[in-house]
Chain A
Amino acid sequence: MEYTGHLLSWIIFLPLAGAVLVTLIRDEKWIRLVALGVTVADFAVSLPLWTQFDTTTHAMQFVERVPWIKTFNVHYAVGVDGISVLLILLTTLVTPMGILCSWQVIRSRVKEYMIVILVLETGMIGVFCSIDFFLFFVFWEAVLIPMYLIIGVWGGPRRIYAAFKFFLYTFAGSLLLLVAILVLYFLGGETFDIQALMESTYSPTVQIWIFWAFFLAFAIKVPMFPFHTWLPDAHVEAPTAGSLFLASISLKMGAYGFLRFCLPMVPDATIMFAPMLIGLSLVAILYGSYMALAQTDMKKLIAYSSVGHMGFITLGIFVFNAHGIQGAILQMINHGITTGALFLCVGMIYDRTHSRLISVNSGVGQQMPIYVTLLAIFSFSSFGIPGTNGFIGEFLILVGAFEYNMAVAAIALPGVILAAAYMLWMLQRIVWGEHTRDNETPLEDLNLRELSTLIPLVVLVFWIGFYPKPFLGFMEVSVEHLLTQVHTTQPLTLSQVFGGS
């Protein structure tokens, strides 16, 4: 039965409509309220994705397809499957929190700020919904603009440097993606339809070129190991909401790109380069964790922990088995929840003490018991204590890695221990450390607004931790289908690659 509704279009464009509405409002209080209302409404609108999603098929659901540029067979085509559905829900869930955490902190140019966040939400959801490669690229590039402005206008002291670095890195990565899309268009029979492009096969030489274009674009976005240097800068300088969106959603676009395009479209080349990709993932896990150990700035610590966690995710993707990929997708969600929450926590303490240094904030636990309880929960989930979401994700990825190769798993394992080390070390100093702040005024514990951003995330941490079945159920069939797409082909040999095209 053909789907005739417009659910996805509503989810994508409601925030954009909200942005237009916000331009008409003058009063700052109302601007905040309208922006919050629109994003909450968008979350409500997106809930049918959870209730009506059919978990028994790998086909795209809620599909809308309208010709857009007829001459070139470009369609406005959106749809979701098990890989993207949770990411969309995560986006609609996290955006209201981004607005709530900026409620009092952002005092200059509130209107522009809210407009930019709403536009960003449209772009982010659009990336995960697009099933037309042209449309995907439009959203993929368009999200750079609001993110650049969030970091550059409302960021910290080195915001301009960080904003430029973020933009230039990501933009440079996607340049070749554009050419790859064009090449695929002509080889795949003059279509941008992702489904059709997955079904046609490409010669080994072409696959390798396209793989490298994909790799550059997505690896920078993830970011994988040698391309990660923009991330700590962007995270540290961005306002809390900026860090939240970067960590929770923006980074997932890269991993999503690998799953959606790289694996199914150029499987032979991906399998051929898998050892390199796994190697880079392992380096990211260990290197990111070691770097996190050395940080004194809480935000930087979490930023480097992100590098490590994203390493686990890419590791799960490139072991090419059901456990690994399911774990990777679940870990994408987990990382969005947990790391997003940790950035929110850092933002809350920064609002009170105006410092993100661990040494300055040590010992706040005595004054803010609720805060440190929540901080502890998210820290535990970050290094994957059983009973939290992080455990399920990392466990699945490690199982997948064991199935692939014992040595790979053995190398990744210390990453888990290191994660526990830096998280506990930070936690210990924040909760029980010596007071170091002068002229002490007692810190207020969390207020209702702040609690309302963290409580839903706590619920999710334990929900996924104790009962991950519904979440895994969403992706099972889609992942199996993805694996058949990858495994129907034989790995490339060098003679095939260099022998002919």
Chain B
Amino acid sequence: MTPTLADVGGVLPEMIVAGFACLALLIEAFISKSSKRDILPITALIGVAIAAFFTVNSMWDSRAVMGGTFLVDPFSNYFKLILYMATALTIMLSMNYLKQEGINVGEYYAFLLFALCGTMITVSAEDLLLVFLGFELTALSFYILAGFKRFRQKSMEASAKYFVIGSYSSGILLFGVSLLYGLAGTTNLTAIGQHLTSTGPGLDPAWILALILLIIGFGVKVAVVPFHMWTPDVYEGAPTPVTAFLSVVSKIAALAVFIRVFIEAFGGIQDIWQILLIILTVMTIFFANIVALLQTNIKRMLAYSGIAHAGYGLIGILVATHMGTYAVMLHLLFYVFMTMGAFGVVIQLRKNGLESEEIEDFAGLAKRQPVAAFIMLIFMFALAGIPPTAGFIGKFYIFMAAVHADLTWLAVLAVIGSGISIYFYLKVIMVMYMKEPDGNVTLSTSQPAIIALAIAAITVIVFGVYPSPAIDFADQAVLSITPPVIVATP
């Protein structure tokens, strides 16, 4: 089968991102080190912008290209836009950091773009093999990015750990896919869904095994308890912008594919996987929030906070309703800005010329850097889900979806879990506002980083006060995957 022009048009954003990644590699090779280092991040930003332009252009299209394996629909476009924003913020936050850490090489931006490209493929994939392909492209880029501070042991450790666990989980995922192929004779999601509805009751137990394998495979990428073991170490060791990128981009793409696979392909047997996901969700929310209480390293704390937020996201997926799905989409949109913002402040904090990663290093920040401290305060309250921030809106709709699906008890558990989380977010604020400053901690800012933080903070507040545009946007985007797939709520 030869690709047609329509096929090429469908994957244009992915091609642009991959092309710019290659361009970044070429620039790195052919432009001398001394001249104009900033050309690389600017090139990467331009690449993201052009890709975003084409995605926006085909925002409300709904078609399958590449022989029905690749979907261009509002759902995937919505997630792509989130991913572009996350990538752009990461690039802006990385520029100064790379110079400070002495790892300002062009491959960094190339791999950021390759990782972005992988996640874009994942969210558009209509075929499990393509899902796998996207995951692998993302993961391979991340293995390298995590080890980018190659002279630091922790960074190497992060890279190696992520590689081992990532490869292993890929194997599990692939095993699940092969089982499914044996059962349904296809890896196409819609076809699997049709096969399931046509076979009716009396399910082969192998289906359940395949389901479990898929949940494990996705669970590792999303970092759901108990498949989260790699995250704290990797998050701590990786360069901070990479940590931010990882905790946002890779998590969001995996949750998006979670929605697509479980609703499109397995919507018919929702009663079977719902209980599995409920168990995982409750474990995730409680475990992550309780362990986060004990962290003294802010990167690890944010890692656990991210795990907990993935748990809230799972609630929206497992209720398998229209409301649930777009509650997750909304939640993830806000999550980008809250988490990127929080990491953005961490990135700029330096102690004795080194990265400053302890929560105690924030002591007295409000006295020295009132603006930075205030911005961090916004992100902390947003992550804690306190109004009037976007974080509250996101959580509110997730809990609402749970109540709507008659899972009020799950909403109660989730609310209690998120109640635990308030303590460690408050602790950061307490350290910033109520402790005396420590002499050695400074803030190393740059223009792009300030812009990135301003965008994130303003978005968190504006969508907290007036979320209607975001809600309507998510509502429209989710329509595309809803009608044929959702089973009636129990």
| Chain A interface (Cβ < 8 Å from any Cβ of B) | 68-72, 109, 112, 137-138, 141-142, 144-145, 148-149, 152-153, 159-160, 163-164, 167-168, 171-172, 175-176, 178-179, 182-183, 185-186
Q: Which of B416, B419, B434 contacts A159 (CB 8 A)?
A: B434
Secondary structure of the A side of the interface? helix
Secondary structure of the B side of the interface? helix
**Do B387 and A69 touch (CB < 8 A)?**
no
**Do A153 and B403 touch (CB < 8 A)?**
no
A176 touching B412 in the complex, CB below 8 Å, given contacts A69-B467, A70-B468, A164-B426: yes
**Do B412 and A145 touch (CB < 8 A)?**
no
Chain B, interface size: which category? 20 to 34
**Do A179 and B426 touch (CB < 8 A)?**
no
Separation of A183 and B412 alpha carbons in the complex (Å):
11
| Chain B interface (Cβ < 8 Å from any Cβ of A) | 366-367, 370, 381, 386-388, 392, 396-397, 399-400, 403-404, 408, 411-412, 415-416, 418-419, 422-423, 426, 429-430, 433-434, 466-468, 471-472, 475
Chain B residue contacts of A179, Cβ below 8 A: 399, 403, 408, 411-412, 415
Chain A residue contacts of B388, Cβ below 8 A: 138, 142
A152 touching B422 in the complex, CB below 8 Å, given contacts A68-B468, A138-B388, A179-B411: no
**Do B399 and A182 touch (CB < 8 A)?**
yes
**Do B426 and A148 touch (CB < 8 A)?**
yes
Separation of A452 and B468 alpha carbons in the complex (Å):
45
Separation of A175 and B430 alpha carbons in the complex (Å):
21
**Do A171 and B475 touch (CB < 8 A)?**
no
Given A71-B471, A142-B386, 6 further pairs, Cβ under 8 A: A72-B400, A141-B387, A144-B386, A145-B386, A178-B399, A178-B415
Chain A residue contacts of B412, Cβ below 8 A: 176, 179
**Do A137 and B387 touch (CB < 8 A)?**
yes
Chain B residue contacts of A71, Cβ below 8 A: 468, 471-472, 475
Chain A residue contacts of B468, Cβ below 8 A: 68-71
**Do B387 and A186 touch (CB < 8 A)?**
no
Q: Which of A68, A138, A164, A176 contacts B430 (CB 8 A)?
A: A164
Chain B residue contacts of A68, Cβ below 8 A: 466, 468
**Do B426 and A182 touch (CB < 8 A)?**
no
Chain B residue contacts of A137, Cβ below 8 A: 387
Provide 14 A-B residue pairs closer than 8 Å at the C-beta atoms, listed in order of the A residue.
A69-B467, A69-B471, A70-B468, A137-B387, A153-B366, A178-B399, A178-B415, A179-B399, A182-B400, A182-B403, A183-B403, A183-B408, A185-B400, A186-B404
**Do A141 and B386 touch (CB < 8 A)?**
yes
Chain A residue contacts of B429, Cβ below 8 A: 148
Chain A residue contacts of B367, Cβ below 8 A: 109
Separation of A447 and B196 alpha carbons in the complex (Å):
83
Chain A residue contacts of B475, Cβ below 8 A: 71
Separation of A145 and B367 alpha carbons in the complex (Å):
18
Chain A residue contacts of B467, Cβ below 8 A: 69
Within the complex, the shortest CB–CB distance from B187 to chain A, in Å, comes to 36
Separation of A112 and B434 alpha carbons in the complex (Å):
13
**Do A167 and B415 touch (CB < 8 A)?**
no
**Do B370 and A112 touch (CB < 8 A)?**
yes
Nearest residue in A to B423 (C-beta to C-beta)?
A: A168
**Do A153 and B422 touch (CB < 8 A)?**
no
Separation of A310 and B412 alpha carbons in the complex (Å):
29
**Do B434 and A152 touch (CB < 8 A)?**
yes
